[in-house]
């Protein structure tokens, strides 16, 4: 096999130490190996970098083990060393013949032949945006968990506001719950004055939902603590979003471009950019980007038989966001492009596959818009907007063929025709 990297290094990363193997290949294609172990303390990592440079090694490949590869990457990134981060499944050794030293040598051998696929590592500023946006996602998940606990406490306490009002955390619901939690016996007359706007149409049901409620001391304590935590998380989420927009200021032009797509708001655009970056050259095509985001069916075929073609688990943070944007796009009254596409696919494939298809369409649009600086204008936009529904004409021959396929005796009908 052709040797692409004459001098390269394979690295196995752990929490407390790393094992590195430098593979040097001469003109006769004879490879010699130099192996060494370093701890993950900063002085040792700088010594590792010096060791690489002293051996004229500027190409390094290491497996992505949790977060442990990041300190090593930070040290090597500052120099002229090119670092390839590989998913463990692409560099895994044979079971039963695994040691750290063998794994390190195996990675070096694969890498010298350029057989290792690199993971996408965005630039430093995009990685900083990604850290903030993902932290915001975790805060949102925590807030949702607290909301579920709050609603469970309402159910246990015989408070049925969630069954009457659309939002258990709307203005009316929170005003009434605030009164209930601060009083031993709720005053129904006082609660009538707390009902706001459209909720007044359900005044009787609201009063019935809180009548004879039974809040025990433990549930009262739990709800107060949960509400306080939700308020804190709301403030933390707001601060995180402010920090995200401050840091993404250089890319406001791209965000404005992405907001031209139905269903994408400025915050969604900022989070999408923090996940995929602004350089689309790292992806081979729009299809490659969709596969990386977990929005493409997997290839699983053997002996001419196709097995499961479910989408992959990739895109843990990006895929749910794009699905939310797709749900907003099909409900958008301003632009009905994705709504029409969704309805056509849903008839044949169902809601779940249709919404994933719309999310993939949106990511494909994002790819071309960022790469070419184009506005949202699909090639079939005019054709789809001006399309008229097809009218199927039922003729005698079509009706007879349908009856024949259904198992009816059509001999008499054919004679009549």
**pLDDT digits over 208-245, tens only?**
888 888 888 899 999 999 999 999 999 999 999 999 99
Quick check: 237 and 139 in contact, CB under 8 A? yes
As given in the structure block, the two tokens for residue 76 are 């090597």
DSSP-derived letter for residue 250 is: G
Round to whole Å and give the CA distance between 151 and 187: 21
Contacts of residue 150, Cβ cutoff 8 Å, sequence gap at least 6: 168, 169, 223, 226, 227, 230
| Alpha carbon distance 151, 180 (integer Å) | 14
Which of the four pLDDT bands, split at 50, 70 and 90, describes residue 388? low
- Check the CA dihedral 79-84-88-94 and report its sign: negative
Residue 299, SS3 per DSSP:
coil
More confident residue, 96 or 280: 280
- What the block records as the tokens of 211 is 């009548």
What is the distance between the alpha carbons of residues 149 and 158, in angstroms, rounded to a whole number? 15
Tens of pLDDT, residue by residue over 273-297, are: 999 999 999 999 999 999 999 998 8
**What b/e readout covers 67-92, taking b as 16+ CB neighbours within 10 angstroms?**
ebbbebbebbeeeebebbbbeeebbe
* Whether 38 contacts 18, CB under 8 Å: yes
pLDDT at position 392:
61
Does the pTM of the predicted model rise above 0.95? no
Local structure of 309: helix, strand or coil: coil
What does the block give as tokens for 268? 């969604």
- Strands 31-39 and 59-63 come out as unpaired
pLDDT grade, residue 314 (50/70/90)?
confident
């Amino acid at each position: 096999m052709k040797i692409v990297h004459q001098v390269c290094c394979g690295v196995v990363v752990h929490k407390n130490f790393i094992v590195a193997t430098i593979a040097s290949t001469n003109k006769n294609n004879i490879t010699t190996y130099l192996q060494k172990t370093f701890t993950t303390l900063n002085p040792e990592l700088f010594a590792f970098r010096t060791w690489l440079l002293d051996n004229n090694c500027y190409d390094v490949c290491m497996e992505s083990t949790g977060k442990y590869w990041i300190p090593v990457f930070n040290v090597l990134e500052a120099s002229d060393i090119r670092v390839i981060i590989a998913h463990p499944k692409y560099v895994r050794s044979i079971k039963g013949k695994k040691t750290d030293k063998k794994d390190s040598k195996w990675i070096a051998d694969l890498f010298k032949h350029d057989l290792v696929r690199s993971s996408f590592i965005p630039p430093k500023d995009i990685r900083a945006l990604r850290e903030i946006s993902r932290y915001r996602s975790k805060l949102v998940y925590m807030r949702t968990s607290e909301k579920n606990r709050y609603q469970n406490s309402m159910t246990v306490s015989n408070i049925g506001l969630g069954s009457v009002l659309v939002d258990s955390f709307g203005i009316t619901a929170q005003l009434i719950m605030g009164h209930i939690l601060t009083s031993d016996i709720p005053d129904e007359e006082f609660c009538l004055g707390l009902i706001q706007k459209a909720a007044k149409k359900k005044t009787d049901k609201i009063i019935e939902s809180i009548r004879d409620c039974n809040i025990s001391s433990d549930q009262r304590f739990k709800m107060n603590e949960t509400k306080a935590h939700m308020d804190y998380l709301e403030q933390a989420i707001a601060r995180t979003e402010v920090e995200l927009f401050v840091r993404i200021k250089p890319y406001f032009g791209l965000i404005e471009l992405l907001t031209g797509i139905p269903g994408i708001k400025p915050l969604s655009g900022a989070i999408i950019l923090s996940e995929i970056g602004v350089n689309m050259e790292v992806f081979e095509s729009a299809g490659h980007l969709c596969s990386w985001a977990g929005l493409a069916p997997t290839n699983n075929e053997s002996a001419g038989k196709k097995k499961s073609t479910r989408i992959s688990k990739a895109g843990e943070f990006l895929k749910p966001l794009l699905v939310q944007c797709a749900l907003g796009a099909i409900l958008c009254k301003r632009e009905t492009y994705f709504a029409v596409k969704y309805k056509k696919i849903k008839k044949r494939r169902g809601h779940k596959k249709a919404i994933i298809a719309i999310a993939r369409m949106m990511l494909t649009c994002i790819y071309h818009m960022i790469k070419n600086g184009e506005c949202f204008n699909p090639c079939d936009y005019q054709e789809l907007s001006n399309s008229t529904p097809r009218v199927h004409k039922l003729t005698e021959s079509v009706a007879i063929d349908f009856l024949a396929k259904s198992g009816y005796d059509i001999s008499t009908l054919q004679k009549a025709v």
